Structure formats: C-alpha cells, structure tokens
C-alpha cells in the first residue's frame, strides 16, 4: 500500500521510497525514511495535496509523491 492509500487519521510505517535523485534526498531530509511512523492528517477536497504528520511536524505532499512512498498500515488493536 502507498501513503496515498491511507485514510485520514490512519497511521503507517514507511517501508520504501520509490523515487531517486533530488526528490528522494528532499523527502529524506524532511524525515521520510524507512521505519518512520507517519499519520495522515488532512486531505484536500480534491485529494491533492495531503498533509501528514511525521516525527513532530506536519508535512504537505503532492498525491504523486505520496503514491511513491510504500507504507505498512498500523492496525489498531481494540
């Protein structure tokens, strides 16, 4: 599943970033690295961009960027 597939309020662990070059470096500089938890905060009305919380801050990503970040959803145990 990709980050774009997570619904608002859901969280996941980043598994893989499927981009290279300057975009990958930029994402990594912002804390988007494998093993990091990410939570989907808000999604724009048309679905682009999406706001995610990663570490202690909010980050807006274009839908195309979010589709290139593989995540494993964290299932809530109730």
pLDDT class of 78 with cuts at 50, 70, 90: very low
Whether 18 shows a pLDDT value over 50: the answer reads yes
CA-based nearest residue to 75, from 3, 15, 2, 6:
6
Q: pLDDT tens digits, residue range 61-70?
A: 999 999 999 9
How much is the average pLDDT of 31-40?
92
Three-state DSSP state, 27: helix
- Answer yes or no: are the C-beta atoms of 69 and 14 closer than 8 Å: yes
How much is the average pLDDT of 59-78?
86
pLDDT class of 40 with cuts at 50, 70, 90: very high
Domains annotated for the chain, with CATH where assigned, are 3-47+57-73 (2.30.30.90)
Whether 59 shows a pLDDT value over 60: the answer reads yes
């Amino acid at each position: 599943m990709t980050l774009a597939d997570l619904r608002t309020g859901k969280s996941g662990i980043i598994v893989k970033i499927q981009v290279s070059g300057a975009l990958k470096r930029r994402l990594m500089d912002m804390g988007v690295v494998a093993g990091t938890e990410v939570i989907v905060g808000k999604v724009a009305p048309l679905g682009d961009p999406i706001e995610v919380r990663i570490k202690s801050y909010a980050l807006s990503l274009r839908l195309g960027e979010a589709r290139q970040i593989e995540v494993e959803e964290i299932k809530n145990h109730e």
